Structure 1
Amino acid sequence: MTAHRITGDLAATTEPGTDRAAPVEETDHWIDRGFEQGDERCLAAAYQRWGGLVHTLATRALGDPREAEDVTQQVFVAAWRGRANFHPERGRLPAWLTGITRRKIADALTARTRRRELAEALGASLESEGGAVEEPEGVLDRIVVTEELARLPRVQRDVLSLAYFGDLTQVQIADRTGMPLGTVKSHARRGLQRMRHNLAVATTAG
């Protein structure tokens, strides 16, 4: 799924199994019932019907359309996986989706803060040991750090993970791993450079 704005005239939506245009209210009730029962057609219909609403809420809160697309996908995946907790008699599907959206937005904001903290802590850790690192904040603040670390060669990933998640200085990392200090600095620098390169490629491709 990819986030998109609602473009169809839902007042003329044809209810599956019929050849007539169903009123919006009747269609929404059909979506509610089918979603609860695990009908995948209703998942697609719900996405068409309310995907634009979710995306708009996420965009307003996050200020980033691409991040809002990710949140929109997460909302509908979470809703589908958790459909056993949806009960139409307690509330309609759009209200339930809105509640999930608020939680996913909060998660995204928390992750954004975490990335910023990682950039600051990692940069400070490397610079405190004399490592020449050029503006890691500008890169790390815009990526999902754990995913980018996973793409690095094992030694670079281990060094950078120890620097932040282990809260170790480069000297301590050298002691922990048995690597010379110069090698630790080199792996840290190359790891950050590779992350910069990956981000630049992704940005160009987007």
Structure 2
Amino acid sequence: MSLAVRLDTDGGEPMVADLAVDPAPDPRELARRFSAGDDTALEELYRDVSALIHTLALRALRNAADAEDVTQATFVSAWRGRDGFDPDRGDLRGWIVGIAKRRIADALDARSRESRRLAAVKDVAEPAVSDREADAVEIAYDIEALGDPRRTIVSLAFYEGATHQQISERLDMPLGTVKSHLRRSLMTLRERWEVNDAQAS
């Protein structure tokens, strides 16, 4: 048995299913059927190249769960974007690999953003850390005490990982104003936590 992609007839989304191993399909015929929206072509394509996609993702990400997510995301993107593939002008396998490389890049970028966000939080909160559970409550209380819009801006930045631009768009606020509020909020929190540390010692 091998994993393959089936379509949910209700939602039209690819799903993993178990299928018997079949001979490799004719590449040109498979490409034409896939481009035409034949869902059985998607299943055959998954059997044909999913192992390659998973291997590429695993080598780049070095995490099995992330590699599986990228593999699934690649075929979802391919199926949704099949209208953009011309079977007379390109190789389907190469096109799929190109999508996989973009999904891998997305995963690496997301991982990098998360690392930067955690580093920023640690840089702000580390001076106050003694009892982590108690400090988590204290930090949440201090952020709440900032009042809006600073409370919302800080929460979006550090709890949801939103970028300055995303916060600006979400709150309909100038980008410079968002940056200014965030900078002043962090200064306020740092000063408050330093005072608390001094009092505790």
TM-score, length-normalised on structure 1?
A: 0.57
Q: CA deviation at 1:43?
A: 1.3
- Does the alignment pair 1:105 with 2:94? no
Name the residue aligned to 1:71: 70
C-alpha deviations, 1:100-153, integer Å up to 9, x for none? 11111111111111111111101111225x25475xxxxxxxxxxxxxxxxxxx
Alpha carbons 2:25, 2:44 under 8 Å: kept: no
Name the residue aligned to 2:48: 49
CA distance in 2, matches of 1:113, 1:55: 21
CA distance in 1, matches of 2:25, 2:108: 34
Which ranges in structure 1 are unaligned for 5 or more consecutive residues? 12-23, 135-154, 174-180, 186-206
Name the residue aligned to 2:186: 169
Say which SS state the counterpart of residue 88 (structure 1) adopts. coil
Q: CA deviation at 1:25?
A: 5.2
CA distance in 2, matches of 1:43, 1:84: 14
Q: CA deviation at 1:30?
A: 2.8
Say which SS state the counterpart of residue 86 (structure 2) adopts. coil
CA distance in 1, matches of 2:102, 2:76: 13
Structure-to-structure mapping, 1:120-159, within 5 angstroms: 120-128=119-127, 130-132=128-130, 134=132
CA distance in 1, matches of 2:34, 2:131: 51
Identity of aligned residues (%): 36
Alpha carbons 1:62, 1:109 under 8 Å: kept: yes
| Aligned residue identity for 2:111 | R
Which ranges in structure 2 are unaligned for 5 or more consecutive residues? 1-14, 133-143, 145-150, 164-181, 197-201
Structure 1 residues 110 and 89: alpha-carbon distance in aligned structure 2, compared to 1, 3 A threshold: same
CA distance in 2, matches of 1:103, 1:117: 21
Name the residue aligned to 1:94: 93
Alpha carbons 2:35, 2:85 under 8 Å: kept: yes
Structure 1 residues 48 and 127: alpha-carbon distance in aligned structure 2, compared to 1, 3 A threshold: same
TM-score, length-normalised on structure 2?
A: 0.58
Alpha carbons 1:75, 1:97 under 8 Å: kept: yes
Alpha carbons 1:125, 1:169 under 8 Å: kept: yes
Name the residue aligned to 1:61: 60
CA distance in 2, matches of 1:73, 1:170: 43
Structure 1 residues 48 and 25: alpha-carbon distance in aligned structure 2, compared to 1, 3 A threshold: closer
Structure 1 residues 59 and 160: alpha-carbon distance in aligned structure 2, compared to 1, 3 A threshold: same
CA distance in 1, matches of 2:16, 2:187: 42
CA RMSD of aligned residues (A): 3.3
Structure 1 residues 68 and 162: alpha-carbon distance in aligned structure 2, compared to 1, 3 A threshold: closer
- The structure in which a higher percent of residues are strand is 2
Say which SS state the counterpart of residue 169 (structure 1) adopts. helix
Say which SS state the counterpart of residue 102 (structure 1) adopts. helix
Q: CA deviation at 1:82?
A: 0.7
